[in-house]
A and B are shown apart, each in its own frame.
Chain A
Amino acid sequence: MRKVVKIEGIPLTEGYSGLHLEVESGIIKKGVYFALVPVRGFETLLLGKDAKVAPVITSRICGLCQITHSIASARAIEKACGIEVPPEAQELREVLGLTVRVYNNLLHQIVVSEDLFPDKISQLDFIRKVQRVRKFTGEILESIGGEIIHSPNIVVGGISEPVEEFVRERILSQIDSVMEKLETSFAEFKEALNGMWKREGLPEDLGKHETSFFATDRFYAGEVDFNDFSFITPQEFMPEDLKSKVSNLFPLYRGKPVETGPRARKVLFEGYKPKGGVKELHILRGQENLDALKRIKEILERGRFNGELWNKRAPVGDGETLGVGVHEAPRGTNVHAVKVDKSGKIVYYKIIVPTELNFSAVSSALEGERAAWAEFIVRAYDPCIVCAAH
């Protein structure tokens, strides 16, 4: 017998989200995952505003992966207005983006640690170890980005403050020991993950699905054609009681739902053969931390960032050109699209965040799994609901 299970508020995830499951003898036949936080209207509140303020305001979309919105927004405006950005500034943005990737992925490990560790003492001990690495990422964000959360140094045209040599050297001098700490905590994370899978009796390929992948780059950003995206609104297919509540759109890439994020980047840019399932996703996300830290070291060792990093030309567009800014956020590809008019005012703004793309992937991952495990699947995608309902 088919019955409907509704869940509102999923613990151990960011924000307030829900699940609508059609269940037959304990197995999910059809599932939809969606956001329930109010739409804050970042796309409409930016209209008529000075293009320069967009990175500052869009940063406030999310408190977990703040900088990715600033970067995507600044890049979109630079494209729309034809502003050249010093290559060093792009590299620093990459460093900041990767730092947030580590910072945020580790935050996710803290969030799911309640699931991973059966007892409080080992959980707090694990959090403490993770926090030591996060502290270092916080230091990079403060030194280069200006603040840990909502870094103001990402500006249209580059980075507002150069990084002195001794600051760069100070960060570099710590990276190796942080890497060790990260490796240790990652090993512990994997062990705890295996323990959890055993304890809960979860299948190795829990949450396997056939959705295709979408990503634009391994670390920083690639190109994307904005016309490839289309959207389904909840009013088109959700049950009656949810039509006026669900606050995210369901974007499609080239007409199909896609999964974005760590696994997509591995598959598309490193030739990784996915085994499927969410356990793999957890591990790949942890692996990305190590890759990101190595890349940060590589960039900082190679470059010098103590010169002018900011093209201060005022952003002015023609009101027609669509500037598309892409950034590979912790959770996947983050896309901002903007049109700026001749007076420098924003006349069009559209944001597609990774969690929005992943809603469909989560939904298909739920199919065929036990209803009791639905939340484990959702958590593995590290959904950022406030981003999704920007």
Chain B
Amino acid sequence: MLSLNERFLLGSYKKVFLAKSSGKNPIKVFFKLMLKKGLIDGILTCGEEEGRPVPSLFLKAEEVKISLLNRCFGVNTLLKRAVQKYRLSKLAVLAPSCMFDGLNKTQYFGIGCNWTKTAVALKVGLLCMGALTETAQIAEITHITGKRKRVKRVFFGSGALYYETDDGESVEVPPRVHHSYTLTACRYCLNMSAKGTDITFVPKENPEEGLFIVRSERGWYTLAQVQKLAPGELKLKAAPKEEVESIISCLREKTLLNINDILERIELGLPVPKWSDNKLRKFYRAWNSVEDTNLEEEVF
């Protein structure tokens, strides 16, 4: 039987920190500092151009721009440029879990891009409730508010996902509505909290705040290094228990919807990702039975 407990929803972690930086997006500050101090030599993520998210590769601290929307598409298209052309060896990646699936695969098998195995220094996951295209997001916000608006920022508030629109309003996004507008593949996702990364980042209502869910030794060490090299720029304190609880309840609701969709596919006899009884079944055995809590997570 499936149990939607913390271990399953959030994965294993060492500690959750509430990060704060004055006047800036904490994750942006984090990456800028790392680039400046030479802890990494490039960032592969979704930047922005004229308010629209675009896959970007940043090599200089002053160029770093990080999209505030959850529309992190096509990040891996730049992998060959980063690794084969620029020969980066300490690459940091900020993306939701699905991008890491592709990256991990490239690293493990070597398919797709040469020399990736040893090129990545840090993997920062994004908590993601499902990504949408620009058009879908407009449709969704119109559905919720009845008005055509543009979404400027995505964050997690008390127990739910919120949008900040261009008129400065914060709108709570009901999971059921969000579920029907996201990319189809996101409706079968069971790794919304980016398990298997070094750190998972969760944007908070206050743009200067965010949660860092530190998972791996490497994530822990890197965060400590940044603290040591630039004390004060990024203030960390242990996140209150309610913060974590609130995210878990948010994830639980969406996961239930996702599982429902997966079951529906099984009924139809369609192949199912990350589940049993599909035609590529043997390769999914890692995901085959979502039962129990015997977790084995490993970061490359």
Contacts and interface: CB of A to CB of B under 8 A. Distances in A.
Is chain B in direct contact with chain A in the complex (CB below 8 A)?
yes
Contacts of A167: 85-86
B77 interface: no
Secondary structure at chain B's binding surface: helix, strand, loop or mixed?
loop
Contact of B84 (A147, A164, A166, A170): A147
A115 interface: no
Interface string A155-166: 000000100101
A217 interface: no
Interface string A163-201: 010110010000000000000000000000000000000
A155 to B, nearest CB: 16
Given A146-B80, A147-B84, A148-B114, 11 more contacts: A139-B87, A142-B85, A142-B114, A143-B84, A143-B86, A143-B87, A146-B84, A161-B85, A166-B86, A167-B85, A167-B86
B78 to A, nearest CB: 12
A342 B86 CA distance: 39
Interface in B79-113: 80, 84-87
Contacts of B84: 142-143, 146-147
- Max count, chain A CB within 10 A of own CB: residue among B59, B85, B86, B114: B85
Interface of B: 59, 80, 84-87, 114
Contacts of B86: 143, 164, 166-167
A164 B59 CA distance: 12
- Max count, chain B CB within 10 A of own CB: residue among A142, A164, A166, A167: A142
Closest 9 CB pairs of A and B: A142-B84, A143-B85, A167-B85, A167-B86, A142-B85, A142-B114, A170-B87, A139-B87, A143-B84
11 contacts: A142-B114, A143-B84, A143-B87, A146-B80, A147-B84, A148-B114, A161-B85, A166-B59, A166-B86, A167-B85, A170-B87
A170 B85 CA distance: 11
A9 B290 CA distance: 56
Nearest to B84: A142
Contacts of A142: 84-85, 114
A142 B114 CA distance: 9
A386 to B, nearest CB: 23
Contacts of B80: 146
Nearest to B81: A161
A142 B83 CA distance: 10
Contacts of B85: 142-143, 146, 161, 167
Nearest to A164: B86
A139 B114 CA distance: 11
Contacts of A166: 59, 86
Interface string A305-324: 00000000000000000000
Interface in A123-153: 139, 142-143, 146-148
A323 B41 CA distance: 45
Contacts of B87: 139, 143, 170
Contacts of A161: 85
A386 B286 CA distance: 43
Contacts of A164: 86
Contacts of A143: 84-87
Nearest to A170: B87
A170 B89 CA distance: 14
Nearest to A163: B85
Nearest to B59: A166
Nearest to B83: A142
A147 B112 CA distance: 11
B22 to A, nearest CB: 33
Nearest to B86: A167
Contacts of A147: 84
Nearest to A148: B114
A384 B200 CA distance: 52
B88 to A, nearest CB: 11
Nearest to A161: B85
A166 B41 CA distance: 13
A143 B115 CA distance: 13
Contacts of B114: 142, 148
A139 B89 CA distance: 14
A51 B114 CA distance: 29
A295 B89 CA distance: 29
Contacts of A139: 87
- Max count, chain A CB within 10 A of own CB: residue among B80, B84, B87: B84
A170 B86 CA distance: 9
